[in-house]
Chains A and B, each alone.
Chain A
Amino acid sequence: MDPESEQQLACLFQRAQAGDRASYQQFLVWTRQLVTRALRSRVRSTAELDDVVQETLLSIHRYRHTYDPARPIGPWIHTIALNRFRDHLRARAREGNPRELEQDAKAAAASPDETATLSLLHGALGALSAAQREVIWLLKFEGYSVLEIAERTGRSTASVKITAHRGYRVLRARLGSR
């Protein structure tokens, strides 16, 4: 990252820390490009790369108060991205490739042995937190929209989407480990 871009990125993020949404949107779009470019050569598939980038964006959002405006922003983003990439490698090593195994699980769902699949799904849903289970259940099984779930549960739509995203990751890991 050249110093001028880094400076611009830091300015956007400082405004985002103060609550400026337009700056934050711009910051996240640029950061997504930066992180994608940095990790492209290290991650095998586009889907996995997308997962790591999304996890990085979620962590940036969660830890945004830890950025010190007196310091350069490049190493701050880089460290978060690298840690999420390491987590991804650890998860892959521990559970095998979740995507391949998820495809296996989907194939199993299409096979006649539906009882086993239902039991697998039941177990996976059991690994979710109560909030994640509620949101995913309402979204995928009851067919509610994000807005309807937000109204029903008293959460913001953003919170519903983030909870669902986290829940999907847990499900993917869980289904992948079987």
Chain B
Amino acid sequence: MSDELIAALVSDLRPVRPLANPTRRAVRFGAVACGAVGAAVSLAGARQDLAARLRDAAFLGETALLLASFGAATWSALASCVPGAAWRGTRSWLMAALGAWLALIAARYALQPNVTAIGVGLACVRRMLLFGIVPACVLMLMLRRAAPLERGTSGFLACLSAGSLAVLGTRLLCAKEDALHVLFFHFTPLVALAVSGSLLGRRWLR
């Protein structure tokens, strides 16, 4: 039977162009996705206090963590679809970045314990979906073209990447700094998006 299979595979052989390595593809995707979200933020109009926020260490730290999460998740997603590539080490970096962001939110809440107003955050969730949907679809298509052997994990990482960039874009628009608002309408949707990416990946990345 396997002799027949080998004969069938050989007769089905067509020349293929090897995929570029994950780092190169991650850089290309990152540049295009950041450019697109940046343009969308410019069109929508960035928050009024952005100049002041860019001098705030906590805001800059949060931005850096989201960028780190975006970069690490993008690279890991692409590398997870290349058999034999060593990508699992970046998972701890990803968890560290998200954990540090959560710690920053907790610290902000600890510094302002009287602030309990969550605010209306559905606009933030909508923005996140708008900013995240195209990068998520593009990244999923890139993964599908490669070899998604661990479909759930690859889908999770792809949506975490797109979600991190979407949260970053949302943070540039949303002027609400309440810790609970950030937790419920920025952090939680990111986690939900990543989990749904895992479910989607299992079904769609074949």
Contacts and interface: CB of A to CB of B under 8 A. Distances in A.
Interface of A: 16-19, 21, 24-25, 28-29, 32, 50, 53-54, 57-59, 61-72, 74-80, 83, 156-159, 161-162, 165
Given A17-B16, A66-B81, A79 B9 contact: no
Given A65-B18, A66-B83, A68-B19, A21 B5 contact: no
A121 to B, nearest CB: 21
A24 B83 contact: no
B8 interface: yes
Among B4, B84, B146, B150, the one with the most A-chain Cβ atoms within 10 Å of its Cβ is B84
Contacts of B150: 83
A79 B17 CA distance: 21
Interface string B32-66: 00000000000000000000000000000000000
Interface residues of B, number: 28
15 contacts: A21-B13, A24-B10, A24-B13, A25-B10, A32-B6, A54-B2, A58-B9, A62-B147, A71-B84, A75-B83, A76-B84, A80-B83, A83-B83, A159-B12, A161-B8
Contacts of B82: 66, 68
Contacts of A50: 1-2
Contacts, number: 103
Contact of B83 (A32, A63, A161): A63
B11 interface: yes
A70 B2 contact: no
- In order of increasing CB-CB distance, the 10 nearest A-B pairs are A75-B84, A158-B12, A19-B15, A63-B147, A161-B8, A79-B83, A65-B16, A76-B84, A83-B149, A158-B11
Interface centre among B17, B85, B147 (most CB of A within 10 A): B147
A75 B15 CA distance: 22
Given A66-B146, A68-B18, A61 B83 contact: no
A25 B2 CA distance: 12
Given A16-B13, A159-B12, 9 more contacts: A19-B15, A25-B10, A28-B9, A57-B6, A58-B5, A59-B149, A69-B18, A75-B83, A83-B149
A158 B149 contact: no
B10 to A, nearest CB: 5
Contacts of A61: 9, 12-13
A25 B6 contact: yes
Given A17-B16, A68-B18, A83-B150, A57 B2 contact: yes
B14 interface: yes
Nearest to B150: A83
A51 B146 CA distance: 23
B21 interface: yes
Contacts of B21: 68, 70
A70 B15 CA distance: 18
Nearest to B21: A68
B84 A79 contact: yes
A32 B10 CA distance: 14
B13 A65 contact: no
Given A54-B1, A76-B84, A66 B11 contact: no
Contacts of B83: 63, 66-67, 75-77, 79-80, 83
B9 A158 contact: yes
Given A28-B6, A28-B10, A67 B146 contact: no
